[in-house]
Amino acid sequence: MASKSKPLIAVDKLTERQAKVELVRLALEIERHNEAYYNEDAPTISDAAYDELRRRSDAIEARFPGLVTKDSPSQKVGAAPSGKFRKVRHAVPMLSLDNAFAEQDVVDFVARIRRFLRLGDDETIVFSAEPKIDGLSMSLRYEGGDLVTAATRGDGAEGEDVTANIRTLKDVPHHLKGRGVPDVCEVRGEVYMTKAAFLALNERQKAAGDTVFANPRNSAAGSLRQKDPTITASRPLGFFAYAWGEMSAMPADTQSGMIAWFEHCGFKTNPLTRTCRSVEQLLAFHGEIESRRSHLDYDIDGVVYKVDRLDWQERLGFVSRTPRWAIAHKFPAERAITVLKDIEIQVGRTGALTPVGKLEPVGVGGVIVQNVTLHNPDYIKGVGGKGEVLREGRDIRIGDTVIVQRAGDVIPQIVDVVLDRRPKDAKPYHFPRTCPCHLHTEVVREEIAGGEEGARARCTGEFACPYQKIQHLMLFVSRRAFDIEGFGEKQIEYFFEQGWVKEPGDIFTLQARNDKLKLEQIEGYGATSVRNLFDAINERRTIGLDRFIYALGIRHVGETTALALARGYGSWEAFHDACLKVAAKDEAAMAEMDDIDQIGDTVIQAVAAYFGESHNRGIVERLTRHLTIVDAEKPKKDTAVAGKTVVFTGSLEKFTRDEAKAQAARLGAKVSGSVSKKTDYVVAGPGAGSKLAEAAKLGVTVLTEDEWLALIGGA
């Protein structure tokens, strides 16, 4: 069973020293998740898990206020701009809201307002209440009634200029309607994508072999951050106006009045917004919106309450980075009950067998869920393992009634089994001992002490297994390998099913076989498309040794390891000869490979296993007949960074990340993806996040791009 993390010490039991260490850990983790959510549009944890991290950090700071620093998560909003677009400094900061998770939190929120304003129990506080849209915050600046700038929230003080893209949204007027529009007017709100549009976009993305988005919020953010506005224009984005920044004059004296004015000016506002006059009405509104949540065509994750009177908002002001006059009442993760109809096995590129639960379709958070990952054999048995959610001891059986949750409203998962509804004939699930492919090759459990791999079951068929063949082919044509344009997931699967491309070498014989295949007659293709495909293939008949090694798909040989091997041997001939000797257990060859920096037993064993298979050797031999493999460039040993370990982070402006890594490697430096005590330099561009914080913590030298170029002499 996988090892469990050490339980957290209760906040009221922490010593000041423990609290200080814990706050540093939480700050780094929150910063990492902020970077993934705001700048990469790819959240790594659920909203509920993120909120729990923030709550713990806030609770520790409340108990030890002397430990709060300017870099504390409570003092920040979002993440720094990515550097992909021009920066825009907000005239009025775009701040975040405090969260309420329980009804008592809302009661306390209203009580704090009443105390602060010194209001009697009989005096009514009117609130404006609205659904909390799960989208991308945006600030639109109008001057003389004309739209001049659109900026993302960024870190709250500075965002990204996405004006050209925002102009493509039909919900955003280029000129404000009506008379008496203030000379300067900043309208703020949320860019979102409807669920229907999101599903349709993902179908198009999948068909084109492009990125499939995790949820509507990610798709909206990704669509808005396109360098080409025509791409944004092709994606149906909406905008709800609900707030403001700098205003040269105020058209109304209440929150609800401002919402009405936005609509008058030509903006779309949320029709579910209403005013409430008591805690009871706020909670009733929250319950009503939660019950309607699954029927809305856009994602929401709570309800926002704001004091309606603007003069009271001004008196209440702010505490830290949040307003006293507003709060977000979050929804709990949505759950649903359904039946597990079957368990299917999917086989990945490395042969890992992943069980997938097939559900009776059920709506969860407005999305129809039919499939859930069951992680590995141990998870199904109820004895833990990667992704542990299910309570220990509760195995999962076909026919079970299960409780399904979308973690953070993104990833479906089974969180419990309703045992009293289990069918009498339901039997424990037995994980397959052979691969579901037609070869029925043996499945083995790898017992690696202390690592999660021990929970994995793998097919031993390698390239002989058709499931692995397709995954290997996808890796082969991917951007980091051969990077063949026009060969995406859809094309690989279709060509494989037709029997036209069964192994990498077949790609390079397609043109010679086309008199028989007649690809231009296939639906979706034409003479021009086929010619472009052949041109893209022919452009990749010459390839660098490191890319070629990576493209082979040897287990445990990623980009960095492939580069180390390429530089260690210099040529394909030398590397190939060494691999054959390693496969034959030649001790001298194994020792030579072990001497290469960053190469150890795991890689050597993987290389031996790969080249020990005659099937794999045949594939490699047939492939290399069609290629020119360029020798690796030997790293220099007499440079200022030779032998140094370098980490690049942030959005580099003077070169791409790949160019920076390649340049550093040519100069003899070791490029790493993480910061440790062994790191010599961290080169940080705009938007650097957790790696920069880790460097500061460890005392690692941090360089700007200009300082890096000066160090290497502009090489």
Q: What is the CATH number for 102?
A: 3.30.470.30
Q: What is the mean pLDDT of residues 34-46?
A: 58
Task: List, for residues 163-180, the tens digit of each pLDDT value.
Answer: 988 998 999 999 999 888
DSSP H or E stretch at residue 51: helix 47-63
Pick the closest to residue 369 from 337, 415, 416, 344 (CA basis). 337
Task: List, for residues 125-142, the tens digit of each pLDDT value.
Answer: 999 999 999 888 999 999
> Would 6 be classed as within a structural domain?
no
One domain for residues 274 and 393: no
> Would 92 be classed as within a structural domain?
no
DSSP secondary structure string for all residues of 330-361? EPPPPEEEEEEEEEEEEE-TT-BEEEEEEEEE
- Of the listed 4, 84, 132, 341, which one is catalytic? 132
CA dihedral for 24, 25, 29, 30, sign (positive or negative): negative
Q: Which of 460, 475, 497 is the last residue of a domain?
A: 460
The residues, ordered by sequence, that sit 6+ positions from 352 with a Cβ below 8 Å of its Cβ are 456, 457, 458
pLDDT at 508: 96
pLDDT > 50? residue 388 = no
Instruction: Return the higher-pLDDT residue of 595 and 159.
Output: 159
Burial (CB count within 10 angstroms: exposed 0-12, middle 13-18, buried 19+), residue 627: middle
Q: What is the CATH number for 17?
A: 1.10.287.610
The beta-strand segments (E) located in 451-581 are 457-459, 542-544
Q: How far apart are CA 633 and CA 557, in angstroms?
A: 19
Q: What is the mean pLDDT of residues 351-379?
A: 80
One domain for residues 363 and 390: yes
Q: Hey, which of 123-137, 293-307, 443-457 has the most confident mean pLDDT?
A: 123-137
pLDDT bin (cut points 50, 70, 90) of residue 644 is confident
Q: How far apart are CA 513 and CA 536, in angstroms?
A: 16
Q: How far apart are CA 26 and CA 72, in angstroms?
A: 9
pLDDT bin (cut points 50, 70, 90) of residue 624 is very high
> Would 291 be classed as within a structural domain?
yes
Q: What is the CATH number for 385?
A: 2.40.50.140
Q: Residue 608, SS3? A: helix
pLDDT bin (cut points 50, 70, 90) of residue 440 is confident
Average pLDDT of the residues of the chain? 84
Instruction: Return the higher-pLDDT residue of 196 and 152.
Output: 152
pLDDT > 90? residue 509 = yes
Q: How far apart are CA 300 and CA 131, in angstroms?
A: 6
One domain for residues 558 and 621: yes
pLDDT at 615: 83
pLDDT > 80? residue 143 = yes
Instruction: Return the higher-pLDDT residue of 197 and 148.
Output: 148
pLDDT at 38: 52
Percent of the chain with pLDDT over 70: 86
> Would 88 be classed as within a structural domain?
no
Range 592-602 burial, b when 16+ CB lie within 10 A, else e: bbeebeebeee
Q: Is the Cβ–Cβ distance between 32 and 689 less than 8 Å?
A: yes
Phi then psi for residue 428, to 5 deg, are -55, 140
Q: What is the mean pLDDT of residues 694-704?
A: 88
pLDDT at 435: 82
> Would 2 be classed as within a structural domain?
no
Q: How far apart are CA 639 and CA 292, in angstroms?
A: 64
Task: List, for residues 658-672, the tens digit of each pLDDT value.
Answer: 778 878 877 888 877
Burial (CB count within 10 angstroms: exposed 0-12, middle 13-18, buried 19+), residue 153: buried
One domain for residues 108 and 251: yes
Q: Is the Cβ–Cβ distance between 337 and 83 less than 8 Å?
A: no
Residue 99 pairs in a beta bridge with 328
Q: How far apart are CA 381 and CA 427, in angstroms?
A: 11
One domain for residues 504 and 450: no
One domain for residues 139 and 113: yes
Task: List, for residues 84-94, the tens digit of each pLDDT value.
Answer: 668 889 999 88
Q: Which of 518, 540, 562 is the last residue of a domain?
A: 540
Of the candidate ranges 24-38, 91-105, 258-272, 511-525, the one whose mean pLDDT is the lowest: 24-38
One domain for residues 240 and 105: yes
pLDDT bin (cut points 50, 70, 90) of residue 450 is very low
pLDDT bin (cut points 50, 70, 90) of residue 385 is very low
Q: How far apart are CA 459 and CA 446, in angstroms?
A: 11
pLDDT bin (cut points 50, 70, 90) of residue 689 is confident
Total number of domains in the chain: 6
pLDDT at 209: 59
Q: What is the DSSP secondary structure assignment for residue 57, as one 8-state letter?
A: H
Q: What is the mean pLDDT of residues 446-455?
A: 47
> Would 324 be classed as within a structural domain?
yes
The residues, ordered by sequence, that sit 6+ positions from 129 with a Cβ below 8 Å of its Cβ are 273, 274, 275, 276, 282, 285, 286, 303, 304, 305, 306
Q: What is the CATH number for 707?
A: 3.40.50.10190
One domain for residues 572 and 499: no
Instruction: Return the higher-pLDDT residue of 251 and 670.
Output: 251
One domain for residues 519 and 651: no
Q: How many CB atoms lie within 10 A of CB 177?
A: 12
Residue 670 among the catalytic residues: no
Q: What is the mean pLDDT of residues 517-537?
A: 89
One domain for residues 152 and 16: no
Q: How far apart are CA 407 and CA 409, in angstroms?
A: 5
Structural domain of residue 38, as residue ranges? 11-76
Q: What is the CATH number for 567?
A: 1.10.150.20
pLDDT > 60? residue 376 = yes
Q: Which of 540, 564, 586 is the last residue of a domain?
A: 540
Task: List, for residues 259-271, the tens digit of each pLDDT value.
Answer: 999 999 999 999 9
pLDDT at 81: 45
One domain for residues 456 and 467: no
Percent of the chain with pLDDT over 90: 38
> Would 81 be classed as within a structural domain?
no
One domain for residues 312 and 212: yes
> Would 85 be classed as within a structural domain?
no
pLDDT > 80? residue 6 = no
pLDDT at 384: 47
Of the candidate ranges 463-467, 579-583, 663-667, the one whose mean pLDDT is the lowest: 463-467
pLDDT at 214: 64
